[in-house]
Amino acid sequence: MVAALTAIQQNKTAPRLQIASDSQYTINTMSKSAPTWLDNGFEGVANTEIVSAVIGELMNTKTPVYLRKVKGHSGDEGNDGADLLANEGAMKNAPDAIDLSAGTYLRSLGARVNVLTQARAYRLIRARKEKDERRRMTAMVERAKAAALQVNGVEPQTKSIWSSLRKRKKGTLTQKFSAFAWKALHEGHKVGKYWKYIDEDRYQCQPCNSDIESLEHILQECRVSGQETVWNLAREAWAKTGLDWPEVTLELILSVGTIEIKNRNGKASEGRTRLFKILLTESAYLIWLLRCEWRIGREQN
């Protein structure tokens, strides 16, 4: 499929282009399947980015393209040569850059209205929304891993971030905090950007004159959430250990389940690790509750 895409891109001014392939799927993609997939907004199509790019290049090229099916490993010079190049490509350390821009525009068009059903419309909307949500969630997890790296000196695995929130047996994190953190990793709390096109007053934090009431603002900057007092008390409690209190960020709070506190000799301390997790998680969740009481319970705004 990628070979067909490259052939079209590299022969846009040729008087004629003939593509021979032993893949019936590739032949069908560029012929009888293309109109249906295009009408349906590429719903359920595997390798959507590559498939849509091939169809997009076919629609844009002025070169007549002819397709021919050949039998695989049958002595066809062009087909056998393509197999050799494919094997060489598989041995590369890094993949080649592929221009898929022609497919981006086609996918943005969605499905044709006259073939769009309510069920298909719902599936297309959910697929696009979930893809965007996964990108945001992945970015937040990466930031949390970087925060843990600064404290531990070792970057935790992604699965460790999630498993630390699910741990109950001999675990330190409460179920309520874990639910709060899980939602924060998915950027699922109804703060900040959630209200941008719904209620401008709730999008902003007016007492602080902040343009956006993000979770970071609530936990680290807000004057009405009580965060400054709570963190000062937590810092004072931690000072009794004789260890430095780290800079608290949203990312550190979300990665706290993977944090390991070491003493001045570099040895892990189970007791102090447990204390740090309790102070950080309970403080963060208390600030969240105080904010919710001010914003919702007292009907502020």
Q: How many residues does the chain have?
A: 301
Which tens digit of pLDDT belongs to each residue from 96-124? 788 899 988 888 888 888 888 888 888 88
Whether residue 126 lies inside any domain: the answer is no
The answer to the question of residue 102 being in a domain is: yes
**Do the domain assignments include residue 120?**
no
| pLDDT tier for residue 15 given thresholds of 50, 70 and 90 | very high
CA 230 to chain CA mean position, Å: 32
Domain count, the chain: 2
Cα–Cα–Cα angle for 246, 249, 250, rounded to 5 degrees: 145
Q: Give the other-Cβ count within 10 Å of 160's Cβ.
A: 14
Q: Is 7 left (phi over 0), alpha (psi -120 to 50) or beta?
A: alpha
Q: What is the pTM of this model?
A: 0.58
Taking only the tens place, the pLDDT of each residue in 239-288 is 999 888 999 999 999 999 999 998 877 788 899 999 999 999 999 999 99
User: Is residue 87 located within the same domain as residue 165?
Assistant: no
Does residue 255 sit within a domain?
A: yes
Q: Is residue 129 part of a domain?
A: no
CATH number at residue 72: 3.30.420.10
pLDDT tens-digit readout, 163-218: 999 887 777 899 999 999 999 999 889 998 888 888 888 888 888 888 899 999 99
| Co-location of 145 and 277 in the same domain | yes
Q: What confidence score (pLDDT) does residue 180 get?
A: 96
Domain span at 29 = 2-115
- Torsion, Cα of 11, 17, 23, 24 (10° steps): 130
- 168 in a structural domain: yes
Write the pLDDT tens digit of every residue in 38-89.
998 888 888 889 999 999 999 999 999 999 888 877 777 777 777 787 777 7
pLDDT at 299 over 60: no
